[in-house]
Amino acid sequence: MPLPASSSDSSSAPARPLILALETSCDETAVALCDGLGNILAAAISSQIPDHQPYGGVVPELASRNHLLRIRPLITQVMEEAGMEFADIDAFAATAGPGLASSLLIGNTVAKSLAMTCGKPFVAVNHLEGHLLSPFIGRPEGIQPGVALIVSGGHTLLIHLRGTGDYQLLGRTRDDAAGEAFDKVARMLGLPYPGGPVIDRLAKTGDPAAFPFPRSMKDSGDFAFSFSGLKTSMLYLLPQLGDSAASRLPDLCASFQEAVVDVLVSKTLKAARSVGERWVSVSGGVSCNSRLRQVFTERCARAKLGLLLAEPSHTTDNAAMIAFAAAHRIRQGITSPLDSDIDPNLSLTSNPVPA
């Protein structure tokens, strides 16, 4: 199915193609509309955090049921905000993986149904590519080659980003993802889900040097990560502190956070040096962390490395990043067949490459 050519003329009409993207890989239902240049025209997100909070984590059946209830009103909201009709849309995109199968199916089925009904192409987007490219949303310089850190609840990946669709995995976590460590440690401390934002807030009044948590694999000589030892250290420390743990909560949060941040920043900068890139980009839910952003900013400036941090609104799961990734894939001539399947374990390096 041919797509209108990407245009950047100065008329007030948005550049083609217009893409409506759906993100339902986990517990956020999100919809976004972007133009052929990757500008986000409208976006909406419905967080399910309050629905899953009583269970201390995401319940897959609850997530998919909520996606089903929320996706339609969100699409209507985005179309109205952008002042568009379905007939105006040139392509429909959805996250195809990785993620929860029953959640992925909702966004995928809705986007494919719209594509079929409107006779327009469908684009299956890798959720990790969405995160990877999210620091470039709204930047006039376009996708820059560099070293990219993706830190979320499900992933901790270091990628050599050589161009759109050209991604080399440098290293990943061997156990827990960084966000998962934040969430599990928060639970140990009696804090609500998701733990990252709460630890971030409490850490602001704590001493990051109060407890010497381990910096696992900081000097391992490769680009792999491990956060399970750090989690176990907290598990052993809490009974030793006994009743005083409650009053030391800010110190515990600040010290734990400092250990995670130190390893993430040190290894990313080492990776940039190792592959000879001058740019570092950081994305995913944990990249919202205020201390991580501060330390990256300071250490990249010292190392004379360029730094692109995803905008806070594009760090946790959102559809703007899916629409943006779809726009770049469409520019490369890549669309997906309507019988393409979801893949809960989709890897970043298995993305389709331009013919």
Segment 71-90, which members bind ligand KG4 (CB under 6 A)? none
Question: Whose Cβ is closer to ligand KG4: residue 270's or residue 291's?
Answer: 291
Instruction: Give the nearest distance from C-beta 290 to ligand KG4 in angstroms.
Output: 7
Collapsed DSSP state (helix, strand, coil) of residue 10:
coil
Separation in Å, CA 340 to CA 33, 122, 163, 194, 350:
22, 10, 24, 32, 14
Structure tokens at 71: 């996706």
Q: What amino acid is encoded at 336 in this protein?
A: S
Residue 67 contacts residue 107 (beta carbons within 8 Å): yes
Question: Whose Cβ is closer to Zn ion: residue 177's or residue 254's?
Answer: 177
Residue 35's binding partner among Zn ion, ligand KG4, none (Cβ under 5 to 8 angstroms by kind) is: none
Q: What angle do the packed helices 249-275 and 195-203 form, to 10 degrees?
A: 110
Question: Whose Cβ is closer to ligand KG4: residue 52's or residue 248's?
Answer: 52
Give the integer Cα–Cα distance in Å for 31 and 62: 19
Instruction: Give the nearest distance from C-beta 285 to Zn ion in angstroms.
Output: 6
Binding site for Zn ion (CB under 5 A): 152, 317
Q: Is 288 in the site for ligand KG4 (CB under 6 A)?
A: yes
The residue within the footprint of ligand KG4, chosen from 107, 154, 165, 206 (CB under 6 A), is 154
Instruction: Give the nearest distance from C-beta 27 to ligand KG4 in angstroms.
Output: 8
Question: Whose Cβ is closer to ligand KG4: residue 47's or residue 332's?
Answer: 47
- Helix/strand/coil (H/E/C) assignment for every residue in 85-152: CHHHCCEEEEEEECCCHHHHHHHHHHHHHHHHHHCCCEEEEEHHHHHHHHHHCCCCCCCCCEEEEEEC
| Residue 6, number of CB atoms within 10 A of its CB | 15
The residue within the footprint of ligand KG4, chosen from 316, 335, 336, 351 (CB under 6 A), is 316
Diameter of the chain measured on Cα atoms: 67
Residue 194's binding partner among Zn ion, ligand KG4, none (Cβ under 5 to 8 angstroms by kind) is: ligand KG4
Segment 200-239, which members bind ligand KG4 (CB under 6 A)? 200
Tell me the CA end-to-end span of the chain in Å, nearest whole number.
16
Question: Whose Cβ is closer to ligand KG4: residue 89's or residue 342's?
Answer: 342
Strands 279-283 and 91-97: unpaired
Of 164, 168, 347, the C-alpha closest to 274 is 168
Residue 178 contacts residue 227 (beta carbons within 8 Å): yes
Q: Is 258 in the site for ligand KG4 (CB under 6 A)?
A: no
Separation in Å, CA 238 to CA 211, 234, 246:
11, 6, 10
Residue 316's binding partner among ligand KG4, Zn ion, none (Cβ under 5 to 8 angstroms by kind) is: ligand KG4
Structure tokens at 92: 């429909």
Q: How many residues bind ligand KG4 (CB under 6 A)?
A: 19
The residue within the footprint of ligand KG4, chosen from 135, 179, 206, 208 (CB under 6 A), is 179
Provide the mask over 16-45, with x wherever binding to ligand KG4 is found by CB under 6 A and - wherever it is not.
----------x-------------------
Instruction: Give the nearest distance from C-beta 154 to ligand KG4 in angstroms.
Output: 4
Question: Whose Cβ is closer to ligand KG4: residue 174's or residue 187's?
Answer: 187
Question: Where along the sequence are the contacts to ligand KG4 (CB under 6 A)?
Answer: 26, 152-154, 179, 182-183, 194-197, 200, 284-286, 288-289, 316-317
